[in-house]
Chain A
Amino acid sequence: MFSLSLASGEHFSLFSYFLKMNHGYVHVAMAATVTLLIVWLSLLIHRSFKRDQEIGRDPLVPDDKLSLRNIVEIGLERLYQMFQNILGHDAEKHFGLLASIFLYILISNFMGLIPGFLPPTDNMNTNLAIGLVVFLYYNYQGFKESGVGYLKHFMGPVVPLIPLMFVIELVSHIVRPISLSLRLAGNMTGDHQVLGVFSNMTPLLVPVIFMALGFLVCFLQAFVFTLLSSVYIAMAVSHDH
């Protein structure tokens, strides 16, 4: 039986230490924490926009000093450019979902770098939820874009091969959310494990190197998840078959 939590050993977590929470459910508490953090962040940004409106400044004009809003605006703009490379003009339509997935995964991953916190993304439950949302979304967009003709994507190039290609394509589509979430969970578990092992060996200074490596991995995995999601969407809404 495949266990949905990948970590075999028990990692230290503040939730299970102070609140006596069962270790198998820490990721749910962490997911709630991340959600609260994102809600708080967006409320802050929203208030800054509202303040601008009340003063009479154009909210489209960025702040003149370095502020949280500037950082978020720069980040989202870069992200938007990247999606534009893949999705073209459709980027605006799908940006909401993709960017929120990116932010959620990124902040979740970074949670794992804070001592005493576990990333919610090192558990398959969290990731499979996001993966399934992406799966449903791109299939819905495909049907919306080309109607029943979307099924042609599953048929392959020539008529005699249809029975074979249909099965192959079906399996490859079903495996997509699983591979998406397994990759994220595996990477986060591995990253956390490496950090834990090296912190046990030498508590001073050496883990900092792996902290930096973990920082890179966290960013890259959130990036890859959204990148692959946008590629799947682009493939579903394309017309060239």
Chain B
Amino acid sequence: MKKWLVSIVTFVVCFLPMASAFAAETTKAGSNAAGWAIALAAGIGLGIAAFGGALGQGRAAASALEGIARNPEASGKLFLPLILGLALIESLVIYAFVIALQLVGKL
């Protein structure tokens, strides 16, 4: 029973500061004169990033598939490095996506 008490108290202490975080706050959207340029930049920038990322991921997946086709037993060993490589390539596109979101937020 004491263990239960300790865990409940720990939980309450951990999440009590949360309650103060829920104070009301208002955000307002600002308008920008160069909005059209920002919209263009976000769209085209993400397009270019997706283009490059797709090329890179395509190459990685193609050579992994080729490797598996030549030696099907290697598929287990190829899986982890493939996922790792794809994630690292994809993260560059995600960076561009984040920046595009930041730009859209300025509209």
Contacts and interface: CB of A to CB of B under 8 A. Distances in A.
Interface residues of A, number: 30
Interface string B46-75: 000000000000000000000000000000
Chain B binding surface SS class: helix
Contact of B84 (A183, A185, A186, A227): A227
Contacts of B105: 3, 8
Interface of A: 2-3, 6-8, 21-22, 24-25, 28-29, 32, 39, 82, 85-86, 179, 182-183, 185-187, 189-190, 220, 223-224, 227-228, 231
B74 to A, nearest CB: 14
Contact of A189 (B23, B84, B87, B101): B101
Chain A binding surface SS class: helix
A228 B97 CA distance: 21
Contacts of B36: none
A6 B103 CA distance: 11
A44 B80 CA distance: 32
Interface in B1-37: 11, 15, 18, 21-25, 27
Nearest to B104: A8
A23 to B, nearest CB: 8
Interface centre among A185, A190, A223 (most CB of B within 10 A): A190
Contacts of A182: 91, 94-95, 98
Contacts of B22: 21-22, 25, 28-29
Contacts of A39: 11
Given A186-B94, A223-B83, A8 B101 contact: yes
A25 B23 CA distance: 9
25 contacts: A2-B102, A6-B98, A6-B101, A22-B24, A25-B21, A25-B22, A29-B18, A29-B22, A32-B15, A86-B80, A182-B91, A182-B94, A183-B87, A183-B90, A185-B98, A187-B94, A189-B97, A189-B98, A190-B94, A223-B83, A224-B83, A224-B87, A227-B84, A227-B87, A228-B84
